[in-house]
Amino acid sequence: MKCLLISSESAEVLFHWTDPEFQQNVQEQYGASQEDGQGLPAFEDSISTLFAPIIISCSTMVDRLGDSYTSFTTENNHIYVLHQFDECLYIAVNGDGEEDEGDLRRKIYVMKKMIEVMFGMVTLSSSLLRKELRPQDTEQRARLWKHLQSLLETYSHLRENDQSFLVEAVERLIHPTLCEQCIEFLERRLVQQLNSSVERAGEEVLHAFILVHTKLLAFYSSRNASTLSTSDLLALIIMAQNMYPSNIDLDDSNPEDIDSTSGSGPESFYTPEPSPRDGDSSSSADMPVRGSTPVFEFVDPDVQMAEDSLHTLDVPPPDPSTPRRVFLEVSLKDGLYPMMPHSMYCLPLWPGITLVLLTKIPTSAVAMSVYTFLEAFAKLEKRLSEGMEGSAATRGQPTIHDVRNKLDKFIKALGPSEMKCTQLQHVWTEFKSRIARGGSGFNRDLIQSCKNMKTQLCGIYRQCFLIESGPADIPRRLSPGLQERAQTMVQDKLMDWKDFLLVKSKRNITMVSYLEDFPGLIHFICVDRSTGQMIAPSLNITERNTSELGKGPLAHFIKSKVWSLVSTTRRYLQKGYSTVTLRDGDFYFCYFLWFENETGYKLEAGDIPVLPDDSAPIGMLAWDYYRKLLRYYSKNHQGEVVKCYELLTVHLGVIPTEVILQHCRQLASKLWEPSRNPLL
């Protein structure tokens, strides 16, 4: 029984996701009074009515007591977690014991992250975000919500089944030679060719990577690209998985099956998962660059050809030639720019293997300017609301005169044709007239003007990057032909490896190779938090597959132990404990977090901040805890590159503790030794 709800302060539902049990529960409570005919509005109404008292009470508590609800627990162990981001209240509910408070809080943060990736800086203006999340048009709304729901389900599925999403770090396929070849291929052949083509329509490929299911085969960033953060990469993998879900049962079928269906067998291309994703095809239309134009209407001979050559079947995948707009963090020399617009091209090579291209769009400089202005106004607003006035409020970089000049130029550059621009100009003129009086203009009265300016800037941003209309904008993407060529190039390259890769992704590394050296070791996970990469023996638990853990209940049991160990150690880490050992039933669990410098020298354990229970979840997907931790720790290690590692192990309880600790030590040093580094 699960639910996730996003609501405005006035209890307007901005998004909801419920599993069938929760839906049934709500409908039972609401009785059959609602008309059956209109499924969605009726359900939306009832869920809104049921949650309204809680939502209203939340804002009352904030307004009048300055405190807010964080969670509720009932006697039958239903858990409600609440979190407010600006004016949006997120409520996550679990009533089946499958998720704890931490999981629910994480889900809320992940949902917020996905919304940020999809809407960028529009999320900074609550009023605009509200409109974006709840389009007036019910059909459009249904499509958007369906897409978000399916993203959420994809995430939940990955978190429950994929170790890399359990610990929130990227897992690479361990095959150094092939990886190297692929990276070279991406660099020398693919990206170069794409970026020198005229058909790229001003876009520039910054990153290219190949995913085998959720695992990374190769990742290449062009030289002038900033690093793609782990958080963004994980979010993109979720999106790719959502577009082309790995059908576990299919993938785990016998190798013969794969052989028979490989190549160009029509049945193999895309088998949609039966129940929750049945609306996937329609959901694809929610975020195309060309606004609300349905993708299906787009009939392009090139695309048609591409589809023919791929033998796409009855349920077509979302049109791959329409890129998705994603907003990712960019770090440049002059600072960090969050939520910069990119286009994401997700090109399926074979079922389970996907090529992802991330491009910089020609107008992205606008986004940087908008961000700079937004930041300046936010700073000013903060100082004003702290009671500063006059020159005290305008101190700091950039100076208000700087901003003034730049913004004047910016507005001029945008040109009068933009509708929003006239509004921005209007508000800006008003703002200028207020501060024209010099220092005396900077007082509390200016706060509202700051807010207005921010909203206007977000509006411009929305207009530039979320809705691009008019036929003139069509060529703003890699041409379908170019995309197809990229697809074919990589397919040719990997043709001989394809089956191997699909198997390898299921058995990246296996416990077998460790049993001899580490008797009694059942499982381990090792994470390099500085690069956001992890390595762990595969834990495949399917009916048909027998892993080293055996199959059936025992394997499930160990899997559940590993999952709960991760959440337990996170709880201790949140409270400042970086070493945890537990004797639990027949098992002995260890967790270590430590720091090293670049040369591998182990640094002294430092204080780890103690965080409140309702702090952001520890991980890298929704909020990069480890980046903050490294920054905190590096304060005492100036001039040194600090790396952070984590190791989790599961041993049989009968193994003496000294032996277990020796194993841990060996694992910790071995796994990341350059000579044996399996991640290269």
Partner 1 sequence: MAELMLPDSRRCNYFFLYDGSKVRGEGDQTREGICYFYPEETPLDEQELLCGQLVGTARCVSELSSSPVRILRLRRNKFSIRVKDDFFWALGCSVEVPTISVCELLDQLINLFCFYTGSVRQSYQRNSKESLAARWAQYLSHLQSGSSELHHIFSCLRTIDSTNVDPLLLLKAALILQACQRCPLVLAGCILFRGRVVSTQMSPELTMKVMFHESETYTKPQRPSAPSTFSSFGGAVGSTAVFLTLSELQYVQSAPVDKAFSSHSTPHKSTASKKTRLSRTLSDTPSSSESEPSDPGSSQSAQKLYSPHLSDRSVLSPDPAAPRPLEPPLSNGTLSPEAEEEPQEESFYYSFHSNGDGGSRTHNEGEMPDPPPPRSAAFDLPEESPPIPMTLYLHRVKGLVLALLVEPHFLSDTASMEEVYHCSLASLNGLEAHLRSVSPGAPGAPGPYIFAHLDCIQSTLTSNLSGRPGGAPERPFVRATSLLHSHFCNTETLQEAIIRSAGAAVYGTRSVAQETYFQQHGGSLRNSGIPNHQDSAFSLPGKARHRLLKHGVNLL
Q: Specify the stretch interacting with partner 1 by CB under 8 A; choose among 34-42, 276-284, 340-348, 598-606.
A: 598-606
Footprint on residues 71-130 left by partner 1 (CB under 8 A): 71-76, 78, 80, 93, 95
Residue with tokens 């919500």: 145
50 forms part of the interface with partner 1 (CB under 8 A): yes
Which residue, 207 or 663, is less far from partner 1 as judged by CB? 663
Which residues lie closer than 8 Å to 340 by C-beta, 6 or more apart?
Answer: 120, 327, 328, 329, 330, 364, 367, 368, 371
How many residues are present in the chain? 680
Site string for partner 1, 627-666 (x = CB under 8 A): --------------------x---------xx--xx-xx-
Q: Give the one residue of 332, 515, 605, 652 binding partner 1; rule: CB under 8 A.
A: 605
Residue 92 C-beta: closest distance to partner 1, Å: 13
65 forms part of the interface with partner 1 (CB under 8 A): yes
Q: Specify the stretch interacting with partner 1 by CB under 8 A; choose among 31-39, 173-181, 511-519, 575-583.
A: 575-583
Q: Give the one residue of 20, 39, 53, 387 binding partner 1; rule: CB under 8 A.
A: 53
Q: Give the one residue of 378, 608, 611, 679 binding partner 1; rule: CB under 8 A.
A: 608
Q: Specify the stretch interacting with partner 1 by CB under 8 A; choose among 233-241, 251-259, 288-296, 602-610.
A: 602-610
Type of residue numbered 622: A
Cα 510 to the chain's mean position, in Å?
28
**Cα(312)–Cα(303) distance, integer angstroms:** 11
562 forms part of the interface with partner 1 (CB under 8 A): no
CA-closest candidate to residue 485, choices 279, 192, 214: 192
Q: Write phi, then psi, for 574 (nearest 5 degrees).
A: -60, -30
Q: Say if strands 533-535 and 170-171 run parallel, antiparallel, or are unpaired.
A: parallel
**Cα(406)–Cα(660) distance, integer angstroms:** 62
Which residue, 392 or 605, is less far from partner 1 as judged by CB? 605
Query: From edge to edge, which strands make up the β-sheet containing 335-350?
Result: 215-221, 204-212, 353-360, 335-350, 324-332
Q: Specify the stretch interacting with partner 1 by CB under 8 A; choose among 106-114, 175-183, 487-495, 587-595.
A: 587-595
**Cα(481)–Cα(321) distance, integer angstroms:** 9
Footprint on residues 441-480 left by partner 1 (CB under 8 A): none
**Cα(345)–Cα(322) distance, integer angstroms:** 7
Q: Say if strands 170-171 and 335-350 run parallel, antiparallel, or are unpaired.
A: unpaired
C-alpha to C-alpha distances, 658 to 522, 565, 585, 662, nearest whole angstrom: 16, 21, 19, 6
Residue 644 C-beta: closest distance to partner 1, Å: 10
Q: Specify the stretch interacting with partner 1 by CB under 8 A; choose among 61-69, 393-401, 497-505, 620-628.
A: 61-69
Q: Give the one residue of 69, 145, 350, 371 binding partner 1; rule: CB under 8 A.
A: 69
State the DSSP string of 555-590: HHHHHHHHHHHHHHHHHHHHTT--EEEEEETTEEEE
21 forms part of the interface with partner 1 (CB under 8 A): no
Across 233-242, b (16+ Cβ under 10 Å) vs e yields: bbbbbbbbbb
Do residues 252 and 506 lie in contact, with contact meaning Cβ atoms separated by under 8 Å? Answer: yes
Q: Give the one residue of 86, 184, 267, 613 binding partner 1; rule: CB under 8 A.
A: 613
Tokens of 345: 């091209």
Residue 190 C-beta: closest distance to partner 1, Å: 40
Q: Give the one residue of 34, 42, 45, 54 binding partner 1; rule: CB under 8 A.
A: 54
Site string for partner 1, 24-43 (x = CB under 8 A): -x---x--------------
CA-closest candidate to residue 580, choices 570, 562, 592: 592
Supply the angle between the helices 126-133 and 446-465 in degrees, to the nearest 10. 40
Residues binding partner 1: number (CB under 8 A)? 63
Taking residue 177's Cβ as centre, other Cβ atoms within 10 Å add up to 8
Do residues 469 and 324 lie in contact, with contact meaning Cβ atoms separated by under 8 Å? Answer: no
Q: Specify the stretch interacting with partner 1 by CB under 8 A; choose among 345-353, 547-555, 600-608, 670-678.
A: 600-608
Q: Specify the stretch interacting with partner 1 by CB under 8 A; choose among 9-17, 223-231, 522-530, 581-589.
A: 581-589
H/E element, 149 = helix 138-161
Residue 676 C-beta: closest distance to partner 1, Å: 17
Residue 79 C-beta: closest distance to partner 1, Å: 9
Which residue, 35 or 75, is less far from partner 1 as judged by CB? 75
Q: Give the one residue of 395, 602, 628, 631 binding partner 1; rule: CB under 8 A.
A: 602
C-alpha to C-alpha distances, 519 to 359, 522, 665, nearest whole angstrom: 48, 8, 14
Taking residue 56's Cβ as centre, other Cβ atoms within 10 Å add up to 14
Which residue, 404 or 637, is less far from partner 1 as judged by CB? 637
Q: Give the one residue of 262, 568, 634, 677 binding partner 1; rule: CB under 8 A.
A: 568
Which residue, 265 or 656, is less far from partner 1 as judged by CB? 656
Do residues 338 and 326 lie in contact, with contact meaning Cβ atoms separated by under 8 Å? Answer: no
Which residue, 43 or 592, is less far from partner 1 as judged by CB? 592
Do residues 358 and 370 lie in contact, with contact meaning Cβ atoms separated by under 8 Å? Answer: no
Q: What angle do CA 41, 43, 49 make, to 5 degrees?
A: 100
560 forms part of the interface with partner 1 (CB under 8 A): no
Site string for partner 1, 519-558 (x = CB under 8 A): ----------------------------------------
Q: Give the one residue of 31, 32, 35, 64 binding partner 1; rule: CB under 8 A.
A: 64
Q: Which residues bind partner 1 (CB under 8 A)?
A: 25, 29, 50-51, 53-54, 57, 60-61, 64-65, 67-76, 78, 80, 93, 95, 568, 571-572, 575-585, 590, 592-595, 602-608, 612-614, 647, 657-658, 661-662, 664-665, 667-668
